[in-house]
């Protein structure tokens, strides 16, 4: 098939030249030829157009590139190399339509783009008909508030255990995200309870009103379990501390400085609840781990949420209680272990805790 090259006899000269106007016109004319016959082209025809357009379209004017990308985005037999290159353009007007719906971009390419491009690309990608858990892991980790909300509201999106943990952690700062995640049909009962534990009564009621009838019973059950959680955990009553920390959190004042203050004042319940909100690890899990024989869990959770050594040290002293004084050697050993601990290692351990508590 030589129709594409015979359409413009001087094609080789145009490809080699630097005249953008001529390249743009050639790209437009050959793209029109492709679109007019795309439904009937054989694979070898598609490959020919792919090679020709790959040399022209990326160098054409923005309006032409955007128009070609928009029209390619709905074709199942679109030229793959051209689509892959346009999907990596920095201009969202060009990359966006392809990232949003093109069926010829494979998973590896999507993951590569998600790791390297900006929020506009992630937002477009979050609107695809389906999103794998590997892809949403990156989107939830890198995306801004709008991107994460859009991905969470995508019924075709799948989320890993780690992805759901991150969603729930971010939802504790975002009531709109709480409402969005709470309506997902694939959200387990334990995850729903974790989600609502970090919200206030108004958000819980709003979610109940918005949810489909089939989802409302699960939400009522989670709200009931949270509201009735007055029994002590491990011999301690964390309910007053939960109320205080959630109020602090929703006021935007729950931070490392507040946590350090609780630890220095030997307010154990408040410190544990604050750590629970900041790390998305359940109160009962943290209380059991931190009150054990070793200080390692404090180092792990502290590294995961980015605490400074001064705060970690105060939490170690809090664990021991006001009447016990650790030896300088023990404290120095803890400091060295904390400095050596890799964040990725700590995050894996915390992810294991979260998975076990969800199970």
Read off the pLDDT of residues 300-357 as tens digits, 9 standing for 90 and up. 999 999 999 999 999 998 887 776 777 888 889 989 999 999 999 989 988 888 777 6
- Reference 79, options 88, 68, 90; nearest CA is 68
Has residue 210 been placed in a domain?
Answer: no
| Domain extent at residue 93 | 1-105
Is this prediction's pTM over 0.75?
no
Domain end residue (candidates: 77, 105, 133)? 105
Has residue 49 been placed in a domain?
Answer: yes
Has residue 98 been placed in a domain?
Answer: yes
- Compute the average pLDDT of residues 30-37: 89
Has residue 88 been placed in a domain?
Answer: yes
pLDDT confidence of residue 238: 84
Give the pLDDT band (50/70/90) at residue 12. Answer: low
pLDDT confidence of residue 71: 96
Contact 307, 334 (CB under 8 A): no
Read off the pLDDT of residues 145-159 as tens digits, 9 standing for 90 and up. 999 999 999 999 999
Contacting residues for 28 by C-beta, under 8 A, at least 6 apart: 60, 64
CA distance readout (Å), 154 to 41, 66, 180 = 34, 25, 9
Domain end residue (candidates: 105, 135, 151)? 105
Has residue 171 been placed in a domain?
Answer: no
Structural domain total, the chain? 2
Has residue 264 been placed in a domain?
Answer: yes
Has residue 263 been placed in a domain?
Answer: yes
Domain end residue (candidates: 105, 131, 146)? 105
Contact 55, 15 (CB under 8 A): yes
Has residue 215 been placed in a domain?
Answer: no
């Amino acid at each position: 098939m030589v129709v594409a090259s015979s359409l413009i006899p001087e094609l080789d000269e145009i490809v080699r030249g630097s005249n953008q106007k001529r390249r743009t016109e050639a790209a437009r004319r050959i793209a029109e030829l492709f679109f007019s016959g795309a439904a009937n082209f054989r694979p070898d025809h598609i490959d020919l157009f792919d090679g020709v357009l790959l040399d022209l379209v990326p160098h054409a004017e923005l309006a032409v590139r955007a128009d070609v990308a928009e029209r390619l985005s709905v074709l199942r037999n679109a030229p793959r190399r051209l689509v892959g290159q346009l999907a990596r353009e920095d201009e969202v007007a060009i990359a966006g339509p392809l990232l949003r719906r093109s069926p010829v971009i494979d998973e590896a390419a999507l993951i590569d783009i998600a790791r390297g491009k900006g929020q506009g690309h992630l937002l477009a990608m979050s609107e695809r008909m389906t999103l794998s858990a590997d892809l949403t892991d990156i989107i939830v980790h890198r995306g801004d508030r709008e991107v994460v909300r859009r991905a969470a509201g995508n019924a075709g999106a799948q989320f890993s255990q780690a992805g759901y943990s991150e969603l729930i952690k971010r939802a504790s700062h975002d009531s709109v995200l709480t409402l969005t995640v709470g309506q997902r049909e694939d959200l387990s009962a334990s995850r729903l309870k974790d989600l609502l534990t970090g919200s206030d009564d108004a958000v819980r009621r709003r979610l109940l009103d918005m949810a489909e009838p089939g989802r409302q019973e699960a939400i009522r059950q989670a709200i009931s379990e949270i509201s009735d959680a007055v029994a002590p955990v491990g011999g301690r009553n964390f309910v007053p501390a939960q109320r205080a920390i959630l109020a602090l959190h929703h006021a935007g004042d729950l931070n490392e400085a507040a946590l350090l203050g609780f630890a220095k004042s030997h307010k154990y319940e408040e410190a544990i609840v604050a750590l629970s909100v900041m790390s998305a690890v359940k109160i009962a899990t943290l209380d059991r781990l931190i009150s054990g024989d070793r200080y390692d869990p404090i180092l792990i959770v502290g590294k995961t949420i980015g605490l400074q050594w001064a705060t970690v040290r105060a939490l170690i002293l809090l664990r021991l209680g006001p009447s016990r004084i650790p030896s300088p050697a023990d404290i120095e050993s803890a400091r060295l272990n904390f400095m050596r601990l890799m964040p990725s290692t700590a995050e894996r351990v915390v992810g294991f805790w979260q998975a076990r508590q969800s199970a």
